[in-house]
Amino acid sequence: MTFKKLARLLVASTLFVGTAAYATQAQNKPGRDPNQPIDEEYTKKIREYTTEPFFNSPLTDYLPASPNVPTPKAVLGDVAGAPGKLPYAEDVYRYMRLLEKASPRVKVFSIGTTEEGREMIAVAIASESLLARLDENRARLTKLADPRTINFDDAEADRLVDQSFPIYYITGTIHSVETGAPTALMELAYRLAVDESPYVKSIRDGMVTLITPVVEVDGRNRMVDVYNWHLAHPKENWPSLMYWGHYVAHDNNRDAMGMSLKLTRNIMNVYLNWKPQVLHDLHESVPYLYDNTVGDGPYNAWVDPILTDEWQMIGWKNVSEMTKFGMPGVFAHGNFDTWSPGYLMFIAATHNGISRLYETFGNGGADTLVRTLSPDETSRTWYRQNPPLPRTKWSQRNNNNYEQTALLISLDYFNREQKLFLKNFYLKSRRSIEKPKNEGPAAYVFPADDPRPGNQATLLHLLQAQGCEIHRATAPFTVTVKKKTAAPRARPGATSSPSPASSPPKPAETEARTFPARSYIVRMDQPYSRIADALLDYQYWSPKDPQQDVYDDTGWTFGELSNVQVVRVTDIKVLSAAMDRVNGDVRSTGGTDGIGSIFLVNHNADNSLITLRYRLKKASFEAAEEPFEAAGKKYNRGSFIIRNASADEVNKAASDLGLQAYHVELTPAVKMHVVKVPRVAILHTWLSTQDEGWWRLAFDQMQVPYDYISTQDVAKDSDLNRKYDVIVFGPVGRGINAIIQGLPMYGNPLPWKKTELTPNMGGFAATEDMRPGLGLAGLMNLQNFVKRGGVFISTMDTSDLAVSTGFTPGVSIQRSQRLKAIGDVLRTKFVDSTSPIAYGYGDSLSIYCFNGPIFNVSNVAGGGGRRARGESQRTTGRGTVDDPDVVQGRPPAEAPEPLPSSEVWEAAPITEEQRRNLIGLIPPDLRPRVVLRYADARELLVSGLLDGGDEIAQHAAVIDSPLERGHVVLFSNNPFWRGQTSGSYFLVFNAILNFDNLNAGRKVEEK
């Protein structure tokens, strides 16, 4: 046991002693009410499907009978957790609505729809009397959630706490391959509505249990399809669940920051409307029940310590009660660091509630199977004294027993301590509002003169969706801020050398800064200040942190990744600046101004510029290749000159999109090229579609039309240029070989298509057989597409594919030895601002990076020509370091010309000696053109964990590599990630819009 963990355990046990005094109700014994009959047949089946008696508990080893309320059997045809039974979301809803009809203790609410139009629901279960008082209770909870409404009157808060009942919100099956929760929650709803045992009755009489049985509805239905296909083809391999939600798979549980998915928005709205005290999300990947709420360090740095204490209290109560039931494999404190706030449950953690999460065990369907576990899953550790069994038969019913037992224990404990938790809810809300006068900051300011008002509005709008209030200054104001330094001080993560731990950081120097009127202000004296602070602040994860097993991204600073200016202000004076609350959605103002038939739109890399191009399809667009001035306004490179469009349609589009267009009479005198309406394909594999899903999502958000094609389509089409100008290949995450080879061809075909048996599969992507990959034919077709003038855009491992298979002569990838950039925000610099890919950007940009790749460029095909740094330094000999050596006994030779030097991101110039018969010398106009490079090591890290950063520092990040008539645009960063990287979207959009003019501004070397 580490000291850290021992200390935490001691804290946890001390808390238990402390909280006993708060107990408001006597503890009820778990188990049935002998006076209430049980459903004999159902109970028999529970016992039959449970594989060992110790995989059940006195809470779930029976089902109470009800004369009028139907059991889950009414819909399932069998008991919850029965083998072979996986209900579709609609079946689960049908059951919940049967319950609602039969019992006054159940109410079903529709809470929105998914990307594919399927319904999401929330089911409230409590006594009739509590359900009748939902609205008045909501009014009280709303006051506790915003202590400003009661003038921070703690006595009034106590009165409200006394009168209120809490709401515990449970969400199931966000992860579609984790299949047990829906049936467990159907049965739990029944028990809560019907069971007269004192244990369950007191929960029902004391609080509201709110349940969303299926979070990822689109994915659930596809998963049921896959499972049914498996049942119908018992001897065959079955297709893996290639698509869960419409866009992403497992990452649907990483969207609580960017909130790009409808499921996140819908759950957030329930959270904001109902004001629950807990959000408890159910998962299924660890045996047998891992309460990962408590997790491991490092904990998120922005949550209230009151919350982290609550995690310990409820988590350990859970473990200890199930331990007493004799159920093996129940534990907390596994390997889950609690740093990133991107998980769905974290909606509660960052909004003054309590986030909770269970991992239970499942078989990825409803088959009963003998499961053999790995030693690390079954070892006895300090936090897991009664570990899972090395080998046992496991059923979905076992899973449902564990899930329900643990939830009932949590509900019971939470109910008994409800006044404590309600008071904590108030305290956490109060402390969030008191942030400016305690830990700070006082506010974040979004300056009115940000060059990218569109992206600024998008980020502010996200904060609104998070429940934050936004204000706008009505006059200029001056506050003290941290002084901007020319170059950031060296950060320990930037190099591989030991960090300068001996020199403590100096207090930052400050300066007065005046912000213009109409600047936006995100005040920290508001109830949901924590989420704004967590998103807008910087993150630092020490490379020396004891936690070396990083669970997810380590950095996410939203202002940086949105390419939007955000200023953290600790000066409390900012709160008294003249300002108004923004009513309604923040949006940038757009429209037209001036006189004339030509329209000019400045290129500032606001993402809606690409929407404008596709919206005004019939108009002629040109892009300026140099900055210019017209009618007293300055325009950046890439700015649009629009003709053949009516004033009305331009005005309408500009207003809708929040863009400014200016009429002028005369065409500006600047070099320009035509911007066509590019025909785009987004390419996917049948290996993994999640990471490209984030690309698709951004294209859909920006209304960029595209064909969605697979590697199999590319393999079949030898004339891709006929259909497409640009093919975009987002990250796959499976390596080059798998992309080319696909899945092994052993066994049976794996169809992904709509049939009567599988009505939810197919649709937007379908195949008779998922196994074949891109193949060599596909690779040739792609390469020919580029050679004939197409543009191929790749990132991370698809960049590796392009580099490794001959698309990019002159570019090579250096395999990293030490680099540890785990989901970081890194700083990059533009090195060729005349490239169309750089249009609209400034000198530098923060990007999202996950370990590269590290590019090298050369003027010779196949790489080469790179010289080790310092090679031209003098050798050992006479004289000082600047002197020439002298050979004895002959006159000194003429000193050779020093070798021409080059920067890390550049190709080394070819020497005369190398030039002799250099077959691989790339003609100057076809050499790789580096657009963006990583910053120097000392200023590379913006946010997150970076170790060995010198390995990637200064290397090229974005390269335009010509191949005959076309181009490959290689990204080392991932420009589209989890809806968090809107600042780098336009690097890709620029490449698309200027697909046939990527050579614009190019300086061709003489030889």
Interaction site with Zn ion (CB under 5 A): 175, 178, 283
- Cα–Cα distance measured from residue 500 to residue 489, given in angstroms and rounded to the nearest whole number: 12
Smallest separation, CB 413 to Zn ion (Å): 24
Smallest separation, CB 286 to Zn ion (Å): 9
Burial of 713 by CB count in 10 Å (0-12 exposed, 13-18 middle, 19+ buried)? buried
Smallest separation, CB 359 to Zn ion (Å): 7
- Cα–Cα distance measured from residue 508 to residue 340, given in angstroms and rounded to the nearest whole number: 26
Smallest separation, CB 285 to Zn ion (Å): 5
Query: Taking the chain, what is the end-to-end CA distance rounded to the nearest angstrom?
Result: 64
Smallest separation, CB 284 to Zn ion (Å): 6
SS3 190: helix
Is the dihedral angle over the CA atoms 731, 734, 740, 744 positive or is it negative? Answer: negative
DSSP category for residue 707: E
* Residue placing its CB nearer to Zn ion in the complex, 364 or 451: 364
SS3 18: helix
Length of the chain, in residues: 1007
Is the separation of the CB atoms in 49 and 83 below 8 Å? yes
Smallest separation, CB 251 to Zn ion (Å): 11
CA 387 to chain centroid, in Å, comes to: 32
Paired sense of beta strands 278-284 and 354-360, if any = parallel
Smallest separation, CB 760 to Zn ion (Å): 20
- Cα–Cα distance measured from residue 26 to residue 23, given in angstroms and rounded to the nearest whole number: 7
The secondary structure of 224-257, three-state, reads HHHHHHHHHCCCCCCCCCCCCCCCCCHHHHHCCC
* Residue placing its CB nearer to Zn ion in the complex, 281 or 560: 281
* Residue placing its CB nearer to Zn ion in the complex, 251 or 417: 251
- Cα–Cα distance measured from residue 6 to residue 481, given in angstroms and rounded to the nearest whole number: 40
* Residue placing its CB nearer to Zn ion in the complex, 178 or 412: 178
Smallest separation, CB 83 to Zn ion (Å): 22
Smallest separation, CB 691 to Zn ion (Å): 17
* Residue placing its CB nearer to Zn ion in the complex, 252 or 758: 252
Neighbours of 4 (CB within 10 A): 12
Residue 278, strand partner residues: 168, 354
Residue 608 tokens read as 């809606």
Is the separation of the CB atoms in 954 and 642 below 8 Å? no
- b/e map 425-460, b = 16+ CB within 10 Å: bbbbbbbbbebbeeeebbbbbbbbebbbbbbbbbbb
- b/e map 191-224, b = 16+ CB within 10 Å: bbbbbebbbbbbbbbbbbbbbbbbbbbbbbbbbb
Q: How far is CA 882 from CA 124, 874, 877, 879, 885, in A?
A: 82, 8, 11, 8, 10
Smallest separation, CB 338 to Zn ion (Å): 16
Q: How far is CA 822 from CA 563, 691, 829, in A?
A: 20, 16, 20
Residue type, 642: I
Neighbours of 666 (CB within 10 A): 9
Smallest separation, CB 254 to Zn ion (Å): 11
* Residue placing its CB nearer to Zn ion in the complex, 178 or 403: 178
Smallest separation, CB 812 to Zn ion (Å): 38
SS3 content of the chain, % helix, strand, coil (to 5): 35, 20, 50
* Residue placing its CB nearer to Zn ion in the complex, 177 or 969: 177
Smallest separation, CB 356 to Zn ion (Å): 14
* Residue placing its CB nearer to Zn ion in the complex, 283 or 696: 283
Smallest separation, CB 174 to Zn ion (Å): 7
Neighbours of 27 (CB within 10 A): 12
Paired sense of beta strands 167-171 and 208-212, if any = parallel
Smallest separation, CB 403 to Zn ion (Å): 13
The secondary structure of 390-403, three-state, reads CEEEECHHHHHHHH
Q: For residue 53, what are the contacts with CB-CB under 8 A and spacing of at least 6?
A: none
DSSP category for residue 835: S
* Residue placing its CB nearer to Zn ion in the complex, 283 or 431: 283
Q: How far is CA 678 from CA 486, 711, 792, 802, in A?
A: 40, 21, 13, 22
* Residue placing its CB nearer to Zn ion in the complex, 178 or 717: 178
Residue 730 tokens read as 């987002």
* Residue placing its CB nearer to Zn ion in the complex, 357 or 653: 357
Residue 682, strand partner residues: 708, 728
SS3 317: helix
* Residue placing its CB nearer to Zn ion in the complex, 173 or 781: 173
* Residue placing its CB nearer to Zn ion in the complex, 357 or 532: 357
* Residue placing its CB nearer to Zn ion in the complex, 175 or 384: 175
Paired sense of beta strands 520-523 and 391-394, if any = unpaired
Smallest separation, CB 347 to Zn ion (Å): 16
* Residue placing its CB nearer to Zn ion in the complex, 262 or 283: 283
Is the separation of the CB atoms in 851 and 820 below 8 Å? yes
Query: Comparing C-alpha atoms, which of 81, 290, 80, 253 is closest to residue 176?
Result: 253
Smallest separation, CB 583 to Zn ion (Å): 39
* Residue placing its CB nearer to Zn ion in the complex, 178 or 571: 178
* Residue placing its CB nearer to Zn ion in the complex, 107 or 175: 175
Smallest separation, CB 255 to Zn ion (Å): 13
Residue 497 tokens read as 């050398």
* Residue placing its CB nearer to Zn ion in the complex, 202 or 252: 252
- Cα–Cα distance measured from residue 199 to residue 185, given in angstroms and rounded to the nearest whole number: 18
